[in-house]
Amino acid sequence: MSDTRLIRRLEAHGLRFAPAQAWNRMRLVPVLRDEVRDDLRFARREYSEWAAVVSLEGELEGRGLKYVSYVPHGMVVTWGQRQSDAVYGTRLNVRDGKKVMAGPAPVRLLHRMVHREDKNQLRMLPLHLAMEGFLAQHFGGPEVAWSEYSRDALTSGLNPRMESSVPGWLSSVLDGALRTFEVHEKQVGLLLFNADELLSAFVVSHPDDYRVLHRTLLEDFYGELLLQYGYLQEVVELWTPMDAKRVSSLGDLRAEVTRMREDWGAFHGFMAGGLFGVEVSSQKVYEAGPYLLQRFHTSLVPSEENHLGEAIVGKDGTLQYLKTYRLSAAQTRRAYLLQQLAQSQWNLDAVAEHMGSTRQELVTRIQNAGFGYLLKAHVLEEARRLATRGR
């Protein structure tokens, strides 16, 4: 029987969207929670090193699969029935991983993406968790030794698999937007729109934690969309007109203001429709008491908007934690290709047929996506020749 806490469709139950605050080309939508529970708390842990190496299998310094990235901060999650404020924060500063020098560069070696530190406490690397899951997908390469694949592809698959992303502090606009943003009293999260494209969603379970974690959004990484639309100076200031005809008393006026506010919530829900309400494939990562930590991705169809993410869902199915990453178009194409290849056991002809194209087109596509090294040279050459002749 599958776990009911595993997300199939992302829903914003128990969450409310408040009117957005716009700054330049960013639009930030506050996410509010009316019913706050305080048995799941989040805190920030800073890493000052230049890079982090996370061992996914095996010992800290032993052989095995590694995830390498710039990781400026981690998140400490504590849960429990009686998670009072006194307990909260007392055991946050335990020894975490190991610091080594790689030439001039300090590097932190970390043990696992999600590491249990105490009975009711774990340390996780936000977003990296989702990204690592994304990279690990179809990482191994072809399982059947088809003749088209290069020897490297057959022995080590897509190793090393890498993706690039944009750190938030690279965008001064995001900095300004986060600085001038006015945090609501009940706010537990934020939807980040760049030029009215949903870039990221972040939700925690407690407003106090959100206040502390608000600035970490600047250290997070985002899809290339953050730097795209650089020429678009400002998003328009949206506001809804009031219908004067419906007002004949101050009470009516109050009702109109309430309606305005609710309209905003609905509108932002609509704007975030690429994430909320669409079907996602999720995968269980860790069971933390009554909570389930999982990572997910949307359909990966290139024509749609695609997100990766991680979430914590409670026993009652409420979303207690969410952090997402918007894939760029190129990343989606790569993911889609790999997905298609894996589904057809990496058989080029079968994939081409399934995608409704020719074998040559598929090979060109694979090469354009940056996976040319998987295929033997003569296969690529043939595709290129056929393509030029066809023209």
The residue among 245 and 389 lying less far from other proteins, judged by its C-beta, is: 245
- Shortest gap between Cβ of 76 and other proteins (angstroms)? 25
Amino acid, single-letter form, for residue 342:
A
- Shortest gap between Cβ of 213 and other proteins (angstroms)? 16
Residue list 26-55, contact with other proteins (CB under 8 A) = 30
Examine residue 214 and tell whether it contacts other proteins (CB under 8 A).
no
Phi, psi dihedral angles at 297 (to 5 degrees): -145, 155
Tokens of 371: 């996976």
List 254, 284, 315, 354, residue binding other proteins (CB under 8 A): 254
> Cα dist. 347→104, 109, 141, 159, 343 in Å?
46, 38, 12, 20, 9
Please check whether residue 244 is in contact with residue 361, taking contact to mean a CB–CB distance below 8 angstroms.
Answer: no
List 98, 99, 116, 261, residue binding other proteins (CB under 8 A): 261
Examine residue 257 and tell whether it contacts other proteins (CB under 8 A).
yes
CA pair distance 111, 228, nearest whole angstrom: 35
The residue among 19 and 133 lying less far from other proteins, judged by its C-beta, is: 19
Residue list 12-31, contact with other proteins (CB under 8 A) = 18-22, 30
Which residues have CB under 8 Å from 117's CB, separation 6+? 76, 91, 94, 96, 123
Secondary structure of residue 95 in the 3-state scheme: coil
The residue among 19 and 223 lying less far from other proteins, judged by its C-beta, is: 19
CA pair distance 241, 145, nearest whole angstrom: 64
List 264, 286, 325, 336, residue binding other proteins (CB under 8 A): 264
List 87, 100, 183, 232, residue binding other proteins (CB under 8 A): 183
| Angle between helices 348-355 and 329-343 in degrees, nearest 10 | 120
Residue list 229-248, contact with other proteins (CB under 8 A) = 237-242, 244, 247-248
Which residues would be at the binding site for other proteins (CB under 8 A)? Answer: 18-22, 30, 180-185, 237-242, 244, 247-250, 253-254, 256-257, 260-261, 263-264
